[in-house]
Every structure is written in structure tokens, then in C-alpha cells.
Amino acid sequence: MTHPDVDPIHRTLDQGLHQLASLGGDLAEHANAIGTILWSPPRVVIVGRLKAGKSTLVNALIGAPVAETAALEATNVVTVYQDGSPSRAEVVGTDGRRIPMAVQHNDRVRLPLPTSDIAFVSRWLPSAALRPLTLIDTPGLSTLTVANDTATRRATIDGFDQTRSASVGADAAVFLFDAAPRRDETEFLSQLPFTPLTTLGVLSRADSFGEGALGRRDPLAHATEHAGRLAGQLSDTVSAVVPISGLMAQTSHTGMLTEHLAAALARLAGRPPLDVLRLFDSDDPDDVLPLPLRDQLLSHLGEYGILHGRQIATGGAAALNRWLTERSGIAALHHTLTASTARYALLHRAHRILARLDQLAYIHPARDQIRTLAAGLRAQPPMHRVTVFEDYQRMLRTDPHAAVTDELRTILTAISPAGSVGLPDDAPGHAVVAEAQRRLAMAHQRSLATGSAAEDAALVTLLRTYTALGHQQHP
Ligand SMILES: Nc1nc2c(ncn2[C@@H]2O[C@H](COP(=O)(O)OP(=O)(O)OP(=O)(O)O)[C@@H](O)[C@H]2O)c(=O)[nH]1
Ligand SMILES: [Mg+2]
């Protein structure tokens, strides 16, 4: 992620907010409030079906067991995890009320309001992992638990339209599913204000994928293959699908694995696999492995971790931890999240800031000055990418399969001028100029008869982009 000090979008927005504050009156306060968005990391919301493994993954990403994952207990409030000291929490009511709460070490947060009156809980904890991204855990989507569904919807969808006090203000989503996502899940996702660029698919529970630990195929390899297929099928929804065993990642990343557990697991090395699983299926006392230890191994490692990790466990907890980390898929997820999803989440965050300015211009007596300021901000060269992103977002809603939508996405994902016009990154400069001019002519042609206001705006942006590319000297 780009450091805010050198990120030109960040710098431009910061200057804009200073200008806003200098307009005087209560605008300094407004500038400060909007500045809080600018100075906090982009926010990634984790969504998915009930028991998909969301909280487990949140713990693995944070590196501490802070989110509730008890097998019988579902997450029932939306919780925002952000870096900060001291460790504390604040409940935000659906009426906008904020109630601070102390948090005891490793203690559950006791909620001061009924869950139906809670918009979300803000939870601060000192964590380097939360510096680049704030993570938001949500109650699982399910037709069976309407109350939980409502909480997630309110915080992620409805909050955007209404007072915003009930909204957690997310910039990107991690969408968790096992096997294939169901229709109601993809429908829910399509209602979120995200794009495929700001939505990362995660195939969860990869360690029990397909036939599971005893199947003919390795479930992790099978899940990887399936994730690739799903990414193709879901390309209208997600940027990629990453397979993950949240359980193995959580155990290896939160200090849950102890030398004691590794030694217990090592005692099973060499036993036939069926014998091992039979032992875990029964409640019989066993001299080699007492019942409480068996339960602990199962809840920390799962069947796959037990069967395939027991030989490795003979080398000790550190070796087992390394193996769990490597097999879990957490590194790939982390990389995609911070290198790709976060990049677009930053654009979404800039969009949220501009939207707040627009909203302020709508209600404030100094509306003309604020409007001029916002327009001036949008016209600055570093903000061009944000405009492209906003147009892309609008086009996805209006006409996702239009050629214009595709061109906007190409520009957003390009890493070179050549890429922006759909050419290979190493295409020669004259070819880039020629293609930009060809696209410019096409955009002119198309702007004579557009289908919507969104397309009008998008074409203005495309014309600006191609005009610049068509005049430049490209190496
Ligand atoms: N084998 C296996 N089990 C997992 C994995 N991830 C989560 N689980 C188990 O699945 C159960 C539910 O996990 P949670 O992380 O609480 O799921 P959730 O999506 O947060 O659930 P809700 O908040 O109730 O919607 C727990 O018992 C986890 O230990 C995984 O990758 N592999
Ligand atoms: Mg949960």
C-alpha cells in the first residue's frame, strides 16, 4: 500500500479538507469529521453465509483470537476491528448513540443495548495487522436467522441510503463461501456498493473441501482447482477467488498452537489413518490421547490437520506451525488483500470522502463555495483515477456489460499507458498513441447517442483519458 505521505490522491484530498476548514464557521468541524475517514485505513467487510468461517478468518488476519467463533454461538453484531490503544470498544446504536465500553483481557464484550438496537460495535486493539486495513466481521447471512441478516444488511446496505449513522462505511468486501455461493448470497452482494475490483472471493474451509481429509484427492489441492473455476464463473462479482483454511490459519497465527498440543498430535504418527479418525469419532477413554486433548486437537486442527500434520508434529510445535501456515493459504489471501483489494479500496475511500463533500454541499448554507471546492478537487490530475472509479461504479449499476464499463475497468486495472488502451504493457509508444486516438474517436462517436446519465459522465472521463494518452510521448 502506498504511504499516505506520498499518495497523491491522499495529499489532494487533505489539501481540499484544509480549504474546507478555512471557509470558517462549523466547516472546520465538518472537515475534521471527513478527515477521520481520510486518516483511517480503508475498511474491508467480511460477509458470507452463517458459519462460513468469517470470524475464524478475521482472527487469523488480525493474529489474535478476538472474534467469537464458538461452534454453537453465532456472531450477532457487526464488529469493526481497528488498530488502536488501549484495547476498548464502543457500541453504536441504531439511533447514532455511542456508548464506550472497557474490554477485559480476552473477555467477551458485554453489550449495553439489545442487539436489535445496535448498528455496530467499534473495537480497537493494538495490532500491526490492522494498520493497513480495518476489518469488519458480520453476522452470517441466512434465511433462517432473520435478525442477524437484518444487522448485516442495515450496516452494509441500508445505512448507505439513510442517516449513515447505521452504516459502517466499508470500502471493499471479502465474500466467503464454501463449494459454490448460493443465489441469495450473490444477490446480497450485488446490493453492496462494491465492484468486482473491491470484492475478493474466498473459498473457505478448503481443508474439508470435496471428499475431505480421507478422500482420494487432497482437499486443499482440489479447492485450489475449484477456486480457479469459480473465479471464472463469478467474474462479474469478484476479482479473484482464494482458497483458504481459516482454521489452520487461525491456529497458526494466533498463538493457539502449543508445544503440548504438538506433542499430543505426534503421538498419533504412524497409526493407520482410519484408526486415527475412529479415535476422534469415539468418546472412549484412550491411554494415548485423553478425550479433552482429542477435542482440542480437533477444534484447533480439524481432521485434515490431524491426519496430515501428525508426522510433522514429531518435529515440534514450530515445525507444525510453519506447515499449518503454509498449507492454510493465508499468505496468498494476505497478498491479494493488501496488494490488490486495498488498492481499489483506497479509491473507494476517496469516493466516500467526495460523496460526503457533495452531501455537505447539499445541506450547508455555504453550498456554493463547497460545490466549487468539490468540483475543483475532482478536476485535479491526481483525482482522475477516482473519477474513473466512480464512473465505473455507476456504469456497473446502469449497464454492467456496456463497452464503456469494460473500458473503464481496463483503465483502472492497467499498470501502464499501453495497458490503459488494452495493449500489452510493452507495446511501443506509437502504437499506444494510435490506439488511444482510435478509442478517442469511438468515444466521440458514442457520445452522440448515449443511453444514460451514467454513460454521459463515463464518456467525458474516457475522452479525457484517451486525449491525454493520445498526445503523450510513451517510451
Ligand atoms: N475445518 C474447518 N473448520 C472451520 C474453518 N473455518 C471455521 N471453521 C469452524 O466452523 C465453525 C464456525 O466458524 P466461524 O468462524 O464462527 O464462522 P462464522 O462465519 O463467523 O459464523 P457466524 O458468525 O455464525 O455466521 C467453527 O467451529 C470453526 O472452528 C476451516 O477453515 N476449516
Ligand atoms: Mg462469526
In this prediction, residues 83-103 reach a mean pLDDT of: 88
Greater pLDDT, 50 or 376 = 376
User: Three cell numbers at 316?
Assistant: 515440534
How confident is the model at residue 2, as a pLDDT?
45
Please list the helix, strand and coil fractions of the chain in percent, rounded to the nearest 5, in that order: 55, 10, 35
User: Three cell numbers at 428?
Assistant: 511501443
With a CB cutoff of 8 Å and minimum separation 6, the contacts of 414 are 420
Q: Which helix (H) or strand (E) holds 305?
A: helix 291-313
Regarding the beta carbon of 56 and ligand 1, being less than 6 Å apart is answered yes
Greater pLDDT, 451 or 54 = 54
How confident is the model at residue 438, as a pLDDT?
97
How confident is the model at residue 295, as a pLDDT?
93
How confident is the model at residue 1, as a pLDDT?
46
Of 16, 448, 60, 28, nearest in space to 253 by CA: 60
Which ligand approaches the C-alpha of residue 145 most closely?
A: 1
In a mutational test of the pocket of ligand 1, which residue from 45, 51, 152, 299 has the highest number of ligand atoms less than 8 Å from its CB? 51
Among 3-12, 360-369, 431-440, where is mean pLDDT lowest? 3-12
With a CB cutoff of 8 Å and minimum separation 6, the contacts of 35 are 14, 17
From the CA of 231, how far away is ligand 2's center (Å)? 24
Q: What is the DSSP letter of 128?
A: G
From the CA of 55, how far away is ligand 2's center (Å)? 4
Percentage of the residues of the chain whose pLDDT score is greater than 70: 92
With 60 as the cut, is the pLDDT of residue 106 above it? Answer: no
Of 420, 416, 404, nearest in space to 453 by CA: 404
From the CA of 75, how far away is ligand 1's center (Å)? 10
Global pTM value: 0.92
Among 21-25, 136-140, 469-473, where is mean pLDDT lowest? 469-473
With a CB cutoff of 8 Å and minimum separation 6, the contacts of 372 are none
In this prediction, residues 269-287 reach a mean pLDDT of: 86
In this prediction, residues 13-42 reach a mean pLDDT of: 95
With 50 as the cut, is the pLDDT of residue 144 above it? Answer: no
DSSP bridge partners of 181: none
Q: What is the DSSP letter of 118?
A: E
Greater pLDDT, 389 or 289 = 389
Percentage of the residues of the chain whose pLDDT score is greater than 90: 70
Phi, psi torsion values for 226, nearest 5 degrees? -65, -35
Among 37-46, 113-122, 349-358, where is mean pLDDT lowest? 113-122
Greater pLDDT, 401 or 141 = 401
Q: Long-range contact list for 221-227, CB < 8 A, 24+ apart? A: 224/329, 226/179, 227/201, 227/203
Specify whether the CB–CB gap between 212 and 251 falls below 8 A: no
Regarding the beta carbon of 127 and ligand 1, being less than 6 Å apart is answered no
C-alpha 132/C-alpha 402 separation (Å) is 34
Distances 277 to 172, 210, 271, 283, 302 between C-alpha atoms, Å: 40, 17, 10, 12, 11
With 80 as the cut, is the pLDDT of residue 475 above it? Answer: no
Binning pLDDT at 50, 70 and 90, where does residue 323 land?
very high
Greater pLDDT, 5 or 212 = 212
Among 102-116, 146-160, 207-221, where is mean pLDDT lowest? 146-160
How confident is the model at residue 160, as a pLDDT?
46
With 90 as the cut, is the pLDDT of residue 71 above it? Answer: no
C-alpha 303/C-alpha 297 separation (Å) is 9
Regarding the beta carbon of 53 and ligand 1, being less than 6 Å apart is answered yes
Which amino acid, residue 293? Answer: L
Q: Long-range contact list for 232-235, CB < 8 A, 24+ apart? A: 233/180, 234/181, 234/186, 234/201, 235/196
Q: Give the chain's mean pLDDT.
A: 89
Greater pLDDT, 358 or 181 = 358
From the CA of 51, how far away is ligand 1's center (Å)? 5
Which ligand approaches the C-alpha of residue 246 most closely?
A: 1
How confident is the model at residue 398, as a pLDDT?
92
From the CA of 313, how far away is ligand 2's center (Å)? 29
Most distant CA atoms of the chain, gap in Å: 82
398-424 pLDDT, tens digit per residue, is 999 999 999 999 999 999 999 999 999
In this prediction, residues 310-334 reach a mean pLDDT of: 97
Max avg pLDDT among 109-113, 183-187, 192-196, 252-256: 252-256
Regarding the beta carbon of 59 and ligand 1, being less than 6 Å apart is answered no
327-349 pLDDT, tens digit per residue, is 999 999 999 999 899 999 999 99
Binning pLDDT at 50, 70 and 90, where does residue 162 land?
very low
Binning pLDDT at 50, 70 and 90, where does residue 192 land?
confident
Q: What domains, with CATH codes, occur in the chain?
A: 42-194 (3.40.50), 256-328 (no CATH), 380-471 (no CATH)
In this prediction, residues 57-76 reach a mean pLDDT of: 81
